[in-house]
């Protein structure tokens, strides 16, 4: 084996190792991404059925129901066009209110109920999560 062939072999082995490392990094990055969907997109089956994602919109007025255990809360998230029922077990943020913006992270069950593992609410009078604001705007106009 000549010196040139040895250098070429080392270069190809280095490129192969780099490609494998890049593939592993991209795979890890992809598995940690949590996408945002509006209720309209969820009901159009654009949301993943087997993975966690974020659901955003407004808490439908009159939809908040607390169960007897004191920790389980059921409410409906709407983008003013479609509605998705949500169940959450845990403490809600202090700013969680009917008619206000909310982003919930969780997974969709087969019955169409979104089981939230985390609920985020807006933090001041004028703020709405950007994804939720865009989803509401899209639902009103019907355009992305």
CA distance 141 to 144: 8
CB 84 within 8 A of CB 105: no
Of 17, 79, 72, nearest in space to 44 by CA: 79
Give the mean model confidence (pLDDT) for residues 13-26: 94
CB 51 within 8 A of CB 107: yes
Average pLDDT of the residues of the chain: 88
CA distance 48 to 107: 8
Per residue in 73-102, pLDDT (tens digit) is 999 999 888 999 999 999 998 888 898 889
Q: What is the model's pLDDT at position 39?
A: 92
Per residue in 44-81, pLDDT (tens digit) is 988 888 889 999 888 999 999 999 998 999 999 998 88
Please report, in range form, the residues annotated as the binding site for heme: 123, 127
DSSP 3-state of 66: strand
Is residue 2 very low, low, confident or very high in pLDDT (cuts 50, 70, 90)? confident
Please spell the DSSP secondary structure of 86-97, one letter per residue: EEEESPPPTT--
H/E stretch holding 135: helix 130-141
Q: What is the model's pLDDT at position 107?
A: 94
> Structurally, what CATH architecture does the domain formed by 34-121 represent?
Beta Barrel (2.40)
Q: Where are the domains of the chain?
A: 1-33, 34-121
Is pLDDT of 14 > 70? yes
- Does this model's pTM top 0.75? My answer is no
Please report, in range form, the residues annotated as the binding site: 123, 127
């Amino acid at each position: 084996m000549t010196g040139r062939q040895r250098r070429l072999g080392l270069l190809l082995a280095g490129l192969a190792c780099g490609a494998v490392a890049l593939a592993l990094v991209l795979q890890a990055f992809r598995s940690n991404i949590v996408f945002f969907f509006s209720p309209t997109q969820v009901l159009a089956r654009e949301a993943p059925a087997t993975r966690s994602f974020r659901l955003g919109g407004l808490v439908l007025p009159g939809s908040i129901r607390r169960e007897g255990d004191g920790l389980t809360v059921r409410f409906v998230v709407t983008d003013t066009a479609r509605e998705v029922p949500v169940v959450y077990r845990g403490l809600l943020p202090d700013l969680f209110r009917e008619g206000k913006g909310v982003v919930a992270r969780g997974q969709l069950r087969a019955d169409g109920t979104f089981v939230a593992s985390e609920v985020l609410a807006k933090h001041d009078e004028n703020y709405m999560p950007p994804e939720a604001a865009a989803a509401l705007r899209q639902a009103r106009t019907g355009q992305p």
